[in-house]
Amino acid sequence: MDKSKVKAIVFDLDGTLYEDTHHFDYYANQLEKRITDNHKADFRDDYELSIVYKHPMQVGRIYDVKRDLILVTDNGYVKKAFEWNGTQLNKELINELYPDQITYDFHSMLNCGDIWWVLISIATHYGLDGKESNEAFLETRSFMMCEDFIMKPIPGLKQMLNSLKDNHIDLFMLTNSPEPDSEAILKKLKIDELFSKKFFNGNKPISTQKWFEEIQQHYHVPFDEILSVGDNLINEIDPARQLGCQTILIDTHGVNKGAGADYIVRNMSEALPIIAKLTKITE
């Protein structure tokens, strides 16, 4: 059956509306500065291994802070669990520790859907607390706001957003990041004025559905005519699908092949023709 024509699109910001990654090294440096001297080298080694998928902590996994375990989940159920050194827990123990669906938060069960959270998890493993990680995060976002941080716009994205707007498709931006730096990033990309509404500090995945419900009610768009576009399966895709929205997952790292998104692409450039098709506009 054909899906409904999309009338509203909710975009994530980081890793979706821009694809630059050089700020992660800056962030790693900011975190490393705050880690005790005896763990700085370990932190650096684990970071370098994690981004090439040679460490159990990697994009797409969950970090259980209290138990110091790295989890692989499917729909919130734990399928695999690793100790930090890579030792895998047996099925019996997994069932005993995690009999129910797990709930994500931002302090004890971390959803590492992108490199931001992989870095936070590694830093947490080496003793950094949430306050220190947040300071490092805010310093990184300040760096991203300054002129030295050159951003490379995604070819065709701005043109596509303009064309969607001209065709009366409501555009939204929903990010977990704070407003000042996110606005500065959107300004750099020259797309800051194209959205009907921007949601900052969005508290995804916990509050994702709340914002989609607000859009549905306030802008009078049924869920099946709303498209969610993002690079984080747990934050942007699963909650939107549960409401009946259409979804495009940007799976930059190729870790979500079995995910239930309507479309899975490697980057925004691949998503643009799909968006054109779903909204029935011509680019």
Shortest spacing between CB 147 and Mg ion, in angstroms: 24
Within 13 A of 210's CA, how many CA atoms are on the CB side?
A: 8
Shortest spacing between CB 177 and Mg ion, in angstroms: 9
Q: Are 114 and 231 in contact (CB under 8 A)?
A: yes
Query: Looking at beta carbons only, is 15 or 205 nearer to Mg ion?
Result: 15
Question: Helix or strand or coil: residue 107?
Answer: coil
The number of residues in the chain equals: 283
Shortest spacing between CB 109 and Mg ion, in angstroms: 18
Query: Looking at beta carbons only, is 252 or 279 nearer to Mg ion?
Result: 252
Site for Mg ion in 208-247 (CB under 5 A): 231-232
Closest CB to Mg ion: residue number: 15
Residue 173 has what DSSP assignment? E
Which strand ranges, in their side-by-side order, compose the sheet holding 109-112? 77-82, 69-74, 61-64, 109-112
Q: Of 7-15, 66-74, 197-205, 213-221, which segment contacts Mg ion by CB under 5 A? A: 7-15
Q: Is 202 in the site for Mg ion (CB under 5 A)?
A: no
Residues 6+ apart with CB under 8 A from 258: none
Q: Is 14 in the site for Mg ion (CB under 5 A)?
A: yes
Q: Of 1-9, 11-19, 74-82, 84-92, which segment contacts Mg ion by CB under 5 A? A: 11-19
Residues 6+ apart with CB under 8 A from 233: 60, 113, 249, 251, 256, 259, 261
Angle at 49 between CA 35 and CA 56, to 5 degrees: 95
d(CA 8, CA 247): 12
Query: Looking at beta carbons only, is 4 or 203 nearer to Mg ion?
Result: 203
The tokens 């859009």 sit on which residue? Answer: 215
Instruction: Report phi then psi at 7, rounded to 5.
Output: -115, -15
Query: Looking at beta carbons only, is 89 or 191 nearer to Mg ion?
Result: 191
Q: Is 251 in the site for Mg ion (CB under 5 A)?
A: no
Q: Is 181 in the site for Mg ion (CB under 5 A)?
A: no
Shortest spacing between CB 232 and Mg ion, in angstroms: 5
Query: Looking at beta carbons only, is 169 or 250 nearer to Mg ion?
Result: 250
Q: Are 283 and 163 in contact (CB under 8 A)?
A: yes
Q: Is 15 in the site for Mg ion (CB under 5 A)?
A: yes
Residue selected from 6, 8, 9, 12 as contacting Mg ion according to rule CB under 5 A = 12
Q: Where does this chain bind Mg ion (CB under 5 A)?
A: 12, 14-15, 231-232
